[in-house]
A and B are shown apart, each in its own frame.
Chain A
Amino acid sequence: MRPAFHIITVSLVTGVLFFATIAVLVRTWLALRRAPADHPLARSADLGGYAATAIGFILALAAILTGFLLWPLDAVLNSALMKNKILTAVLLVAFWGMFLLVRFRRGPAMWDNPAMAVYAALLAVSGFFFGMLTSSIGGDVAGNPSGFENIVQAFGVETRYTFYLPTWLNIAIIGAGALALVLGVVAHQREPGRREVDATAADG
């Protein structure tokens, strides 16, 4: 496969997800301002962000596929830059995938809760950040570093090494994730009135 095809796909991902990020931020801003759900801009931002995320998500998967077709897997796994690119691309997909899932499950009502709206913005910004990082590393691989990696290096991460964390921290992160889930489940289970609703729902 020619590198140009991968570059074109990545460019589309960047553009579409940039639009999605802006839309999500606008919708979050409106949510925090308690704008009504049927506000024209709120509806446009929600639908536009949702659609752009769905398209960008599919394109991101396509970009990952075209990226893997460029070099043999062994070569990819022997390159620090390429491994970092894979990691950031996977995180990009994870963040946007989560946004899509929440939007799909909750519908436009996801914006009714300010905390959820802020979290959606966090997912979008994180997804966009990792998209930028992925593209920047791609430029570095092609011999044209963008300089974006300098920002990451300023936070103490040496981008020319494969990014990894010590075992104890990986375990702690998994534990933190599990703890977050437990907090969510427990708080949700203990919510007043839930049992009655569930019972009603079961009867119905």
Chain B
Amino acid sequence: MSKPISLAAVAVLVVLVAGLSLVFANDGVVEDDLDRNIAIPDDLLMELDVKVAYNDEDIFWRFQFETDTPHYFHDYLVYEDAEWVQYGGSPVGAEPLGLYEDRLTFLLDDGSVDAFAQYGGFITIVSGMRFFSDEADADEVEEILGEDRDEVRKFLPETRDDPADWRSVREEDELDALREQGYFLDLWHWRAHRSNPIGWSDDQLVFDYRLDDDGTAPFETNWDDEAEEPAFMFDPDETGQYAMDWDRLLALDYDQDEYYYLSEDIAVPFDPDHDWQNGDAIPRRLLVEPEGSQGVIFAQGIAQNGGWDIELQRALDTGYDLDDKQLAHLGMYDVAFAVHRGATGSRWHYVSFPLTLGLARDADIEAVQFDGNRPDWDALDWTTIDLFYPGQVGWDHVISDDHAGHEEVEARTHVSEGHSEEELAFAAVESEFRDDIRRQWLFTGAAWVFFVLATTGAVALLTRTRLHTAGTPREGETT
């Protein structure tokens, strides 16, 4: 092959390498890996609209967010060949049948929890948590955290001797004192299936674990362990049905006006003698009116116009000081939101930066005071909040030397000063493939450098002016 042709071939190689590098940039590493609890959502960002108002007694929240399919279905028991089989639950990523409820949650604080105002929910997360790739062993968790706690869930840094280690739980008396000093986060927890149908929101808190408020929850498990069948079924006189139709459920065909849920006012004890047919489906949750501190938030969520329209109402002061953050006229608070949509549970949610909430005060979200029983929502403006997928980034990483901004964290610089929501969403995805990406990045760098060196060597050889036999002058050759 002559030198000009070889030179042309090298030029083609250069163009090919440059073109393919652009086309296949960032390809080949980021993909779902269910064995490592990794499922990357299609959308890394979403928006949440919020309005807040209050009167002398209550605070009212109004939310709207978009979703392709509103999921107000949860888990169900389906009759199959004389057995009741459970469908639904919390898998890695989206529930494949769509049987997982949408949720809207927010953490609320009155300034008692250090770093929450700057880092929001990130302070409640560490490595080893539920559904992380390095999820802690259930037996170890139960041994350290106690019975009924076989997963590492949200907790606050100062409930541990080492904030980066979920194992280092502080002494009981110290925990009690912290809680009495208001060191906890109020967790408002709206559930599209497990409370919304009966007009309630769940109410929890984050302290040394994610805890229920005192009282009773708005749902129970509808299952009789001994008989291995549902404990309750639909009251046919009230609902016109003994059970739902599994085929319609699979098509998510029930609308909100129908009985897609089971609550105590439309339920009767399960009748094993009924002529059950394959495909009969009964909700695995029985909705009950919550009591005590857990039953203080009224809710109404309506799926419409391609999303959810949700209203919450709670007393400004619930009287439950160990469970709820009390609110007052002219008060300033910190709040961080999260949304589960697309039939996802656990960590597959979208979260916000921490924001300020001011009651008749200038803040990120300003709650407007009004007279009367209900706010005039149309007169209030929406505040739009950007939410992002947070991946597996935990507080242990944020405060470590591995995080370039850890000194800013120590100085309590607000997260928004160092990152945008979009940046954190990208960082979240990378966090799930940290080692793989680093290895591939090194490989890519080495391949490119070799190509530059090799191509230069080739061009140098191909452009060397032909040497003539002794006695003839050389043309511009010094090597």
The residues of A with any CB-CB pair to B shorter than 8 Å are 71-72, 74-80, 82-83, 86-87, 90-91, 94-95, 98, 101-102, 105-107, 109-110, 112-113, 115-116, 119, 122-123, 143, 155-158, 160-174, 176-181, 183-188, 190-194, 196-197, 200, 204
Closest A-chain residue to B1, C-beta based?
Answer: A187
- Whether a CB of chain A sits under 8 angstroms from the CB of B138 is no
For window 445-479 of B, CB contacts with A under 8 Å fall at 445-470, 475-479
> How far is B458's CA from A184's CA once the two chains are assembled, in angstroms?
4
CA distance A158 to B422 in the complex (A): 12
A87 vs B441: C-alpha distance when bound (angstroms) = 8
How far is B460's CA from A72's CA once the two chains are assembled, in angstroms?
Answer: 39
Q: How far is the CA of A119 from the CA of B446 in the complex (A)?
A: 21
Q: Can you add 20 more A-B contacts, CB < 8 Å, to A75-B402, A79-B404, A109-B478?
A: A74-B402, A83-B441, A105-B479, A109-B476, A112-B475, A113-B465, A155-B22, A158-B426, A163-B444, A164-B443, A165-B27, A167-B28, A170-B443, A172-B17, A177-B453, A181-B458, A183-B9, A183-B10, A188-B3, A197-B467
State whether B470 touches A200 (Cβ < 8 A): yes
CB neighbours (8 Å) of A176 from chain B are 13, 16-17, 451
Closest CB in chain A relative to B460 CB, distance in Å: 6
Q: Which 10 A-B pairs have the closest CB atoms?
A: A166-B28, A177-B454, A112-B476, A184-B458, A109-B476, A184-B461, A116-B463, A180-B458, A197-B467, A164-B440
Residues of A near B26 (CB, < 8 A) are 157-158, 161-164
Q: From residue B389, how far is it (CB to closest CB) to chain A in Å?
A: 13
- Given A98-B452, A113-B476, A174-B451, A164 and B460 contact (CB-CB distance below 8 Å): no
A–B Cβ pairs within 8 angstroms, 9 of them:
A75-B406, A91-B449, A98-B452, A165-B440, A165-B444, A168-B28, A174-B450, A183-B6, A183-B9
Shortest CB distance A46–B (Å): 13
Asked whether, in the complex, the Cβ of B463 is within 8 Å of the Cβ of A161, the reply is: no
The residue from B23, B448, B476, B479 contacting A156, defined by CB atoms under 8 A apart: B23
Among residues 1 to 50 in chain B, which have CB atoms less than 8 Å away from a CB atom of chain A? 1-3, 6-7, 9-10, 13-14, 16-17, 20-29
Q: How far apart sit A177 and B459, CA to CA, in the bound complex (Å)? A: 11
CA distance A171 to B448 in the complex (A): 10
Min Cβ gap B123→A in Å is 19
Interface bits B261-284 vs A (CB < 8 Å: 1, else 0): 000000000000000000000000
- Are A167 and B443 interface neighbours, CB within 8 A? yes
- CB closest chain-B residue, reference A122: B14
Of the residues A105, A122, A161, A170, contact of B444 by C-beta under 8 Å: A170
Contact of A164 (CB < 8 Å), options: B14, B444, B455: B444
A77 — which chain B residues lie within 8 A by C-beta? 438
Asked whether, in the complex, the Cβ of B440 is within 8 Å of the Cβ of A167, the reply is: yes
In the complex, the answer to whether A101 meets B440 with C-beta atoms within 8 Å is no
Q: What's the nearest-Cβ distance from chain B to residue A180, in Å?
A: 4
Which chain A positions have C-beta within 8 A of B458?
180-181, 183-185
The answer, yes or no, to whether B228 is at the interface (CB within 8 Å) is no
When C-beta atoms are compared, the residue in chain A nearest to B29 turns out to be: A164
Check: B374 CB closer than 8 A to any chain A CB: no
Using Cβ atoms and an 8 Å threshold, which residues of chain A touch B20? 169, 172-173
Q: Which of A75, A79, A162, A170 contacts B401 (CB 8 A)?
A: A75
Cross-chain contact of B451 among A72, A83, A105, A177 (Cβ < 8 A): A177
Q: Using a CB–CB distance below 8 Å, which chain B residues touch chain A?
A: 1-3, 6-7, 9-10, 13-14, 16-17, 20-29, 397, 401-404, 406, 417-418, 422-423, 426-427, 429-430, 434, 437-438, 440-441, 443-470, 475-479
Measured CB to CB, the closest approach of chain B to A174, in angstroms, equals 5
Residues in A neighbouring B464, C-beta threshold 8 A: 113, 188
Contact B447 A181 (CB under 8 A): no
Tell which of B6, B444, B448 touches A187, judged by Cβ atoms closer than 8 Å.
B6
Given contacts A109-B476, A174-B447, contact A166 B27 (CB under 8 A): yes
Q: Which residues of A contact B454 (CB under 8 A)?
A: 177-178, 180-181
How distant is B443 from chain A, measured CB to nearest CB, in Å?
Answer: 5
Among residues of B, the one whose C-beta sits closest to the C-beta of A78 is B402
B399 to chain A, nearest CB (A): 12
Residues of A within 8 A of B28 (CB): 164-169
A180 touches B470 (CB 8 A): no
CA of A166 to CA of B427 in the docked complex: distance in angstroms?
Answer: 19
Are B403 and A91 touching (Cβ within 8 A)? no
Residue contact A116 to B460, C-beta cutoff 8 Å: yes
| Contact A94–B449 (Cβ < 8 Å) | yes
Within the complex, what minimum Cβ distance (angstroms) separates B458 from chain A?
3
A75 with B403: CB separation less than 8 A: yes
Q: Which of A95, A112, A191 contacts B452 (CB 8 A)?
A: A95
A188 to B454, CA, bound (A): 15
Q: Say yes or no: A90 contacts B445, CB within 8 Å.
A: yes
Closest to A163 in B: B25
| Chain B contacts for A76, CB-based, 8 A | 404
- Collect the chain A residues with CB atoms within 8 Å of residue B430's CB: 80, 161-162
Whether A156 lies near B453 (C-beta < 8 A) is no
A78–B427 Cα gap in the complex (Å)? 9
A36 to chain B, nearest CB (A): 12
Partner of A183, one of B1, B21, B460: B1
Task: Give the shortest distance, in Å, between A90 (CB) and chain B (any CB).
Answer: 6
Q: Given the known inter-chain contacts A166-B28, A181-B454, A187-B1, please indicate yes or no for A102 contacting B422, CB distance below 8 A.
A: no
B427 touches which of A80, A113, A157 (Cβ 8 Å): A80
Q: Which residues of B contact A196 (CB under 8 A)?
A: 469-470
Find the residue from A74, A98, A173 having the highest chain B CB count within 10 A.
Answer: A173
> Are the C-beta atoms of B401 and A72 separated by less than 8 Å?
yes
Q: Nearest Cβ in chain A — how far from B360, in angstroms?
A: 33
| Cβ contact within 8 Å between A194 and B466 | yes
Contacting residue for B3 out of A82, A123, A174, A187, CB 8 A: A187
